[in-house]
Amino acid sequence: MMVSLSSKWSLGTMSFLPSSLLILLVVSTTSWCQTKASDGTQFPWNNMRLPEHIIPVHYDLMIHANLTTLTFNGTTAVDVIASQATNAIILHSHHLQISKATLKKGAGETQSEEPLRVLEHPSHEQIALLALKPLVVGLLYTVVIDYAGNLSESFYGFYKSTYKTKEGEVRILASTQFEPTAARMAFPCFDEPAFKASFSIKIRREPRHVAISNMPLMKSVAVAEGLIEDHFDVTVKMSTYLVAFIVSDFKSISKMTKSGVKVSVYAVPDKIDQADYALDAAVTLLEFYEDYFSIPYPLPKQDLAAIPDFQSGAMENWGLTTYRESSLLFDAEKSSASSKLGITMIVSHELAHQWFGNLVTMEWWNDLWLNEGFAKFMEFVSVSVTHPELKVEDYFLGKCFEAMEVDALNSSHPVSTPVENPAQIREMFDEVSYDKGACILNMLRDYLGADAFKSGIVHYLQKYSYKNTKNEDLWNSMASICPTDSTQGMEGFCSRGQHSSSSSHWKQEGLDVKAMMNTWTLQKGFPLITITVRGRNVHMRQEHYMKGSDSTPETGHLWHVPLTFITSKSDSAHRFLLKTKTDVLILPEEVEWIKFNVGMNGYYIVHYEDDGWDSLTSLLKGTHTAISSNDRASLINNAFQLVSIGKLPIEKALDLTLYLKHEMEIMPVFQGLNELVPMYKLMEKRDMNEVETQFKAFLIRLLRGLIDAQTWTDEGSVSERMLRSQLLLFACVRKYQPCVQRAERHFREWKEANGSLRLPSDVTLAVFAVGAQTTEGWDFLYKKYLSSLSSTEKSHIELALCLSQNKEKLQWLLDQSFKGEEIKTQEFPGILTTIGRNPVGYPLAWQFLRENWNKLVQKFALGSSTLAYMVVGTTNQFSTRARLEEVKGFFSSLKENGSQLRCVQQTVETIEENIRWMDKNFDRIRLWLQSEHLELL
């Protein structure tokens, strides 16, 4: 699954990267000890996990959705085998009314059937079907269940979605979202990923609708007047969370891949003309993966469907991937460069899952990262080859910084971590599973060499096809690929050839991938490497980096860190595997500077003692292009991380950023903004106007050269265009007059042409943001929002509306998007958090979250990343003790309806850190801003 919420909303962040926020779906109630069924009878099972002695083999599903009454009924016939004698069959069912259950055994003349008694255990989302006598071990039985339900009003299960035609008619469709635990809301099933089975699906519908599912349509049968039953081909063996079906009036376009797979994109009729880009990308990417993994895609078709109401970014259902419209549809006239990048990455993520996740699936949700970390990592591997012009490899380090932000807190968790109930499972869809997972895989690939890494994952996929895996299965596959005398890959980690002196350190010890990677997946956090240079000797020390105090806590964690470094005398990367707390390496000659973690390929940060930082700052001031743009971005990031734990004074970190006056590349500029903007965002929520104003003025002076150099066009590479879009928005929001005046002129012309004038899509964010500052402009933008068919245009207008300084308008936006009539509820989380960042709006957003908490939990699900995104987005820029007490008080009052969530611990820790940070650094920033070296800017 994939998310593209978080960053699109914060100024100066990676607005183009689908964020780590993976958004998941399901309501759960947790009551642990109740083993009484709902009718008072003793329920025969008291565990959240299903027993393992009844194994499903095949499901026959018949589902009939009524899009007028918004209900559905169905029959599930599941073939099961018992591995031990039992008369209770325990499976999942949630919000379904079961009318009848029978047990069949044998076939033909000898077939017998008996009624089963049904017991329900709602808080575990389970039912027990009781037979009169125990099932015979090893015999095939069929359990047949008739049931009915309401189409869900949330974004998971079998749910209702609507759209308006150009003429204003509201049309209804029904679609599914089952991951992680919502298949049980559409049909009774063994809803755990290790219970893989095959599925034969039949869907009943009216003639005016089209039904699609995981497999191609085999035949359609008229079962009654005005009722058609579609029969779909039988699926391969797969997990329940990957089943999908949609009943709609979508249109589609199709193409074939080289190997004969039919790829189609489905969308509402008014937007099918925006499907071409995704279709071409999907064909290219599917061909790439078949080649890269050396395993043919096993189904005859792959559909990509754009759903008008969708909580996350996308979902990898096997053969029928589903997407938010903005994650799939591309309007050549109006879509932005970041939209093209985002769509390509999301499609590549879902298609990677057809192998990582669908073909080979984690055994349980504790190892979700085996699905998500891999899919996130493969986005970069695939797109860098299929769409080289997008230069995605430049953005990868942004994912690692996002993960570290969360992983530096005490509330973080290991990549692989135990979970049991649905809310805990949903909490796994976070930055650690996705982004940290991807970053440690990237580090391993850099360490082993691309070829050795690739043969390891191909071996893993081939060995475990149609099966389930645990963490160690992956490392064992990786470890089995480095024969002792190999010379694999240019990066040469399995090789025995000659290397620089520093690399011999790991060579003799051999390569224990499992021991190394366990240090990255089984303990939380990441290491801080401290470097001290004494002549030719380089002393290295590792410790656990954790925010919260100036003394690093001794957690006793040690990592096997594959260090890389370049120096003033050598720009090819040297390597050293640090396995102990301290070690020393000897350089061939003394150097002026040394930079560790080349290209930020490692998941660790580095501190340089003595004058190490000074020499790097001088290097940036003199010839910043002596090191790569990713190395420059990582220096900016690391410096401010070190300020947080008291290792580097804030003045030195700020001095380092002064070189940005000469920076032209997107990642260092964005990283500078990512470090500096939050400083004034903290001040905006307190009475600190004078310093806040000076700090904002300093930022504009720092970047003025680059801002002035921007053309108001759509020219240039994707990164140049994304930089332009964000910089102009930043300049206009900061009221930089040359930008504001030009934006006002564009807005006036666009408005006079009634919105029909084509604005360059790279400047619309800035133009709309300025236009929305007047009541008349805001109202005009909202009117255009209602009629727009372009996702990019709508998201740009939405952001602009949220930047208003008018409290009534902001409150109205919160109310409207929450209601979901004119602005879809899927947009609410983004609107809430953008208003939560608005200096006028943040108290409204925080108030709204508190007043509507229970409804938000119902709609977006306890534990979902959407809910976490809203909690963090409305509170994590507070920096006063009064606000801290308010946040703690509210969440602890929620009891089991939210007080235990990890995002609550994260935001409380972040506010405590903000308080500490401001107490320590605010006065120093004030004095630094008055110092004379800023005159030069």
Angle at 270 between CA 310 and CA 346, to 5 degrees: 40
- In this structure, what token pair is assigned to residue 633? 């971005």
Q: Which of 823, 850, 846, 827 is nearest to 835 (CA)?
A: 846
What parts of the chain have a pLDDT lower than 70?
A: 3-36, 38, 481-510, 550-553, 932-937
Q: Is 70 exposed, middle or buried (0-12, 13-18, 19+ CB in 10 A)?
A: middle
Q: Is the peptide bond prior to 180 cis by the omega test (within 30 degrees of 0)?
A: yes
| pLDDT tens figures, 430-478 | 999 999 999 999 999 999 999 999 999 999 999 999 999 999 999 999 8
List phi, psi (to 5°) of 241: -70, -10
- In this structure, what token pair is assigned to residue 27? 């309501």
**pLDDT for residue 107:** 74
Does 52 qualify as catalytic in the annotation? no
Angle of the 666-684 helix axis to the 396-407 helix axis, nearest 10: 30
Q: Is 28 exposed, middle or buried (0-12, 13-18, 19+ CB in 10 A)?
A: buried
- In this structure, what token pair is assigned to residue 863? 């534990």
Q: What is the DSSP string of 380-407?
A: HHHHHHH-GGG-GGGGHHHHHHHHHHHH
Q: Which of 678, 676, 683, 682 is nearest to 701 (CA)?
A: 676
List phi, psi (to 5°) of 712: -95, 65
- In this structure, what token pair is assigned to residue 588? 């061939």
**pLDDT for residue 36:** 66
Name the 3-class secondary structure at 314. strand
Give strand ranges (E) for 819-869.
Answer: none
DSSP 8-state assignment for residue 197: B
Q: Which of 895, 825, 756 is nearest to 310 (CA)?
A: 825
Residues constituting the chain: 937
Q: Which of 305, 254, 293, 344 is nearest to 4 (CA)?
A: 344
Angle at 106 between CA 63 and CA 117, to 5 degrees: 60
Q: Which of 519, 674, 502 is nearest to 604 (CA)?
A: 519
Residue 172 is which amino acid? Answer: I
Question: Which residues partner with 361 through β-bridges?
Answer: 468
**pLDDT for residue 178:** 98
Query: Could you tell me whether strands 126-130 and 54-66 are parallel, antiparallel, or unpaired per DSSP bridges?
Result: unpaired
**pLDDT for residue 110:** 78
- In this structure, what token pair is assigned to residue 854? 């229970």
CB atoms within 10 A of CB 716: 15
Q: Is 32 exposed, middle or buried (0-12, 13-18, 19+ CB in 10 A)?
A: exposed
Name the 3-class secondary structure at 686. coil
d(CA 410, CA 546): 7
> Which residue has 């953005």 as its token pair?
395
Per the CB < 8 A criterion, the answer to whether 277 and 296 are in contact is no
Which whole-number Å values give the CA distances from 201 to 101, 363, 431, in the listed order? 19, 25, 35
d(CA 624, CA 606): 19
From the candidates 350, 372, 379, 692, which is the catalytic residue? Answer: 350
d(CA 686, CA 690): 11
Which whole-number Å values give the CA distances from 782 to 410, 453, 805, in the listed order? 42, 50, 15
| pLDDT tens figures, 757-783 | 999 999 999 999 999 999 999 999 999
Q: Which of 391, 326, 168, 344 is nearest to 796 (CA)?
A: 326
Residue 790 is which amino acid? Answer: S
| pLDDT tens figures, 479-526 | 876 544 344 433 334 433 333 333 434 443 457 899 999 999 999 999
Q: Which residues of 649-686 are buried (b: 16+ CB within 10 A; e: fewer)?
A: bbeebbbbbbbbeebebbbbbbbbbbbbbbbbbbbbbe
Q: Which of 194, 240, 238, 235 is nearest to 54 (CA)?
A: 194
